[in-house]
């Protein structure tokens, strides 16, 4: 998510962005109060089978936070002690971006991207762990890659299981959001898989990234971050959503505009001190859906911090943020 990363935190005044779509409410709710280590970027969160929560993020060697109650978060180091050697094929510092954590087949799976700002010479990798905790991950190398000759960018991975098959959304700029099928045994892209196109913008540079798909009722919902991140209080990130009855699309908003034509209902945008809301993911906790994202704190020099909000599903199936 993120073309990137944790860069350019600029102190400046910014007016709150107002919602402009029919699906938006008159005002956005603030994130749930959290304490402890709040600094984070591109968070992915899961409730562990052992109890408590872990969040992974861009920064460090996939930065880790843990919590017992989803309110107080503690710094837990990094997923890896040091970068796997192959990461250096994609940047000089072995810097990973935008992880995604999930659980299946008795193991936790962590997907992540390695790339450099402004290029689509990128790769998505995967690791597994028996506990989901930092320091327990075994890396399994590349899952899917992109090169400068491709019209997509292999970063910002997120997994979804649908109809007994495993899928991965990804994408940032370079004509937007894509999806490929994964082999559930290896966790890697199926050989010769079709690269499905899910969302784009009608104008270059096609500023949509950070996809995340969830199933609710008979629909799949595609959440994505639009516009610019990573500029502190000058960030214009916002979260939009559309839905489809098929995991591979087409995804359309509540007005019927396809995401491939620039559609998407505005779910959450900057307001008050909470600037540039995006880099989102969705997780379940005791049967309820939660939206995790970062925002830039206008009252703390644009520092990126953790945002958590409940998701409620309206009678017509569309999500709203609580």
Residues labelled as active-site residues: 42, 209
Q: Tell me whether strands 72-78 and 35-36 are parallel, antiparallel or unpaired.
A: parallel
**CA 39 – CA 162 distance, rounded (Å):** 33
Per DSSP, the residues of 165-217 read EEEEEE-BSTT-EEEEEE-TTT-SBPTT---EEEE--SSTT--EEEEEEEEET
Helix (H, G, I), strand (E, B) or coil at 103: strand
Say whether 87 sits in a helix, a strand or coil: helix
Alpha carbons 100 and 218: distance in angstroms, whole number: 24
Q: For 251, how many CA atoms within 13 A lie in the half-sphere containing its CB?
A: 31
- Alpha carbon 53 to its chain centroid, in Å, reads 17
CA distances from 51 to 70, 126, 284 (A): 11, 23, 13
| Token pair belonging to 39 | 């600094």
The SS3 of residue 78 is strand
Burial annotation 120-156 (CB, 10 A radius, 16+ → b, else e): bbbbbbbbbbeebbbeebebbebbbbbeeebebbbbb
């Amino acid at each position: 998510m993120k073309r990137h990363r944790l860069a350019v935190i600029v102190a400046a005044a910014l007016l709150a962005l107002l919602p402009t779509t029919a699906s938006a409410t008159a005002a956005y709710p603030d994130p749930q109060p959290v304490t402890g280590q709040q600094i984070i970027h591109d968070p992915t969160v899961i409730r562990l089978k052992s109890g408590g929560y872990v969040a992974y993020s861009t920064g460090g060697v996939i930065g880790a936070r843990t919590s017992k109650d989803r309110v107080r978060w503690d710094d837990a180091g990094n997923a890896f002690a040091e970068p796997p050697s192959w990461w250096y094929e994609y940047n000089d510092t072995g810097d990973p971006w935008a992880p995604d954590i999930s659980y299946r087949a008795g193991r936790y799976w962590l997907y992540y991207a390695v790339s450099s700002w402004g290029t689509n010479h990128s790769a998505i990798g995967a690791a597994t762990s028996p506990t989901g905790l930092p320091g327990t991950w075994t890396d399994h190398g590349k899952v899917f890659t992109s090169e400068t000759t491709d019209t997509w960018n292999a970063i910002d991975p997120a997994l979804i299981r649908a109809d007994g098959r495993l899928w991965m959304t990804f994408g940032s700029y370079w004509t937007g959001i894509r999806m490929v099928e994964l082999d559930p045994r290896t966790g890697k892209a199926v050989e010769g898989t079709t690269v499905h196109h899910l969302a784009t913008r009608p104008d270059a540079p096609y500023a949509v990234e950070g996809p995340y798909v969830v199933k609710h009722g008979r629909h799949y919902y595609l959440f994505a971050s639009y516009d610019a991140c990573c500029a502190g209080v000058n960030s214009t990130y916002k979260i939009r959503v559309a839905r489809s009855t098929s995991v591979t699309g087409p995804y359309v908003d509540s007005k019927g505009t396809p995401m491939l034509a620039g559609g998407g209902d505005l779910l959450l945008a900057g307001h008050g001190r909470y600037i540039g809301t995006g880099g989102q993911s969705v997780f379940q906790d005791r049967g309820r859906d939660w939206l995790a994202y970062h925002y830039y704190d206008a009252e703390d020099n644009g520092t990126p911090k953790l945002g958590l909000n409940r998701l409620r599903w309206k009678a017509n199936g569309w999500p709203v943020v609580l």
